[in-house]
Amino acid sequence: MLVTWRYRLRNGLMEKFDPRARWIFSLAFLFAVTMFWDARFLLFFFIIAFAWYFSSRAKWKETRRGWYLIGFILFMMIVINTIITGGGAGGVVPPGGHLVWPQGGTFPLFDWHFHFGLTWERLWFAICQVLRIGGISAIFLIIPYTMDPRVYGVTFRGLGLPDRFAYSMELAFRYVPTLARDFGTTLDAQRARGYEIERVKGGIVKQIIRIAPLIVPVTMNSILTGEDVTNAMDLRCFGTRPRTWLNKLTFHWQDYALIGFSIFMLVGAVIAIYGFHIGNFWVPYFWLKLAE
C-alpha cells in the first residue's frame, strides 16, 4: 500500500507565509464567515478564499477528488435542505416568502396535483450556502497540498499546544509510512495463506469480521513496537525539559501582515454583526422581482 502526502513545493505565494500565520488566517476566516448570511459579505469572503486558494498554484487534477466530495455534500445539502424539506434553513430564512410555483403543479401522466413550498427566498439562501461553504472549502481543502507534514508539530507547538501533544502529532505523521508498510506486509502475508479480502459472499457482519485478520495483527504489532519506543524515549529522559525542534519557524513581515489582516477580518465581522446589526440574511430586490 502506497501512502503519499499531497504536499509538494509549488513556489506559490501561499508558501511564503509561516504555517502558524496561515492557520491563524484560516481559523479567523472560518469564524468570520460563519457569522454572515448576507450574500454581499459572503461574496467578499468567497473572493478572498479563492484568491488565497489560487495563490497556492495547486492544479485542478490534484485537488479535484476533494472538490468532487465537497460538490456532492453541497448538492445533497441544497437538494435536501432547500428543495425537498424546506425546513426553514436553520431558522435563517424567515417563514413565508414568495412561492416559486404559487399555483402548484400537475404530474402529466397521472394528473396528480401537487403543492410545492419552495420559495425564492430559500433559493437565494441556497446561493448563500454555495458562497459560504465554497469559501470555507477553498481555505481548508488547500492545506494538505501546501503545508509540509514535517512542520505540523512545531507549528502547533508555536500556536500554544503543549510540548507533549505537539510531539505526539509529530510522531503520528512520522509513523504513517511505517504503519502503511506494515499493513501492506500483513495483507501480502495473509493473501499468501489464502486470505481473500475481495470475497463477496456473506452479509455485512461476515464482511466486517473478514477484515479482522488484517486489523488485528497490524494493531497488535504496533502496540508491541510502541512499548519499545516508550522505553527508548524514557531512557532519553523525554519530557523532563522543553523540547527543541528540528525545523525552526520564524515570523517575517508578510506573516505579521497576514495575522493583522486576520484580526481585522474577525474584529470587523464581530462589529458588523453585533455593532451595526448588518450581515444577516438578505434577499436582493431584483431576485424578488422574479417572483412577480
Partner 1 sequence: MQKKSWKFGTREVVYSAIGAALYAVLSLATNWIQLPSAGNVSFRPAIVIPLFFGVVFGPIVGFIAGFLGNIISDLIAGYGLWFWWDLGNGIIGLVPGLIAVWMTTYKATKDIVWAEVFSVIGVLVGMGVASVSEMWVSGADINTVIFANFIPAIVPDLINGLILLPILLIAYAAIVKRSGR
Site for partner 1 in 211-230 (CB under 8 A): 211-212, 214-216, 218-220, 222-227, 229-230
Please check whether residue 121 is in contact with residue 94, taking contact to mean a CB–CB distance below 8 angstroms.
Answer: yes
Q: Measure the CA–CA gap between 257 and 250, rounded to whole angstroms.
A: 14
- Residue of 57, 106, 168, 264 interacting with partner 1 (CB under 8 A): 168
**How many helical (H) and strand (E) elements, i.e. helices and strands, does the chain have?**
11, 2
- Stretch of 109-117, 200-208, 246-254, 272-280 lying at the interface with partner 1 (CB under 8 A): 200-208
Q: 3-state DSSP helix/strand/coil percent for the chain, to nearest 5?
A: 65, 0, 35
DSSP structural state of residue 218:
H
* # chain residues binding partner 1, by CB under 8 A: 86
172 near partner 1 (CB under 8 A)? yes
Residues facing residue 109 across a β-bridge: none
Nearer to partner 1, 229 or 278 (CB): 229
| 116/175 with CB nearer partner 1 | 175
| 50-89 positions binding partner 1, by CB under 8 A | 62-63, 65-66, 69-70, 76-77, 80-81, 85, 87-89
Q: What is the DSSP letter of 14?
A: G
Instruction: Give the C-alpha separation, 259 to 158, whole Å.
Output: 14
In the list 56, 129, 146, 262, the residue contacting partner 1 (rule: CB under 8 A) is: 129
What length does the chain have?
A: 292
At its nearest, how many Å lie between partner 1 and the CB of residue 233? 5
Which of residues 14, 48, 133, 258 is near partner 1 by CB under 8 A? Answer: 133
Q: Which stretch binds partner 1 (CB under 8 A): 11-19, 176-184, 246-254, 255-263?
A: 176-184
238-273 b/e (C-beta count within 10 Å ≥ 16 → b): eeeeeeebeeeeeeeeebeebbebbeebbeebeebb
* Residue 62 to residue 5: CA distance in whole angstroms: 12
Which of the ranges 234-242, 244-252, 254-262, 266-274 carries the binding residues for partner 1, by CB under 8 A?
Answer: 234-242
**Between 209 and 267, CB nearer to partner 1:** 209
Apex CA 137: angle with CA 136 and CA 140, to 5°? 85
Mark residues 17-46: x for contact with partner 1 by CB under 8 A, - for none: -------------x---x--x---------
> Contacting partner 1 (CB under 8 A), which of 125, 146, 272, 283?
125
Nearest distance in Å: CB 249, partner 1: 19
Cell of 198: 475481495
Among 56, 137, 146, 155, binds partner 1 (CB under 8 A): 137
* Distance of alpha carbon 217 from alpha carbon 176, whole angstroms: 16
Using CB under 8 A as the binding rule, whether residue 246 contacts partner 1 is answered as no
Question: Given candidates 183, 258, 262, 269, which one binds partner 1 under the rule CB under 8 A?
Answer: 183
Distance from the Cα of residue 164 to its chain's centroid: 25
Using the rule CB under 8 A, is 104 a contact of partner 1? no
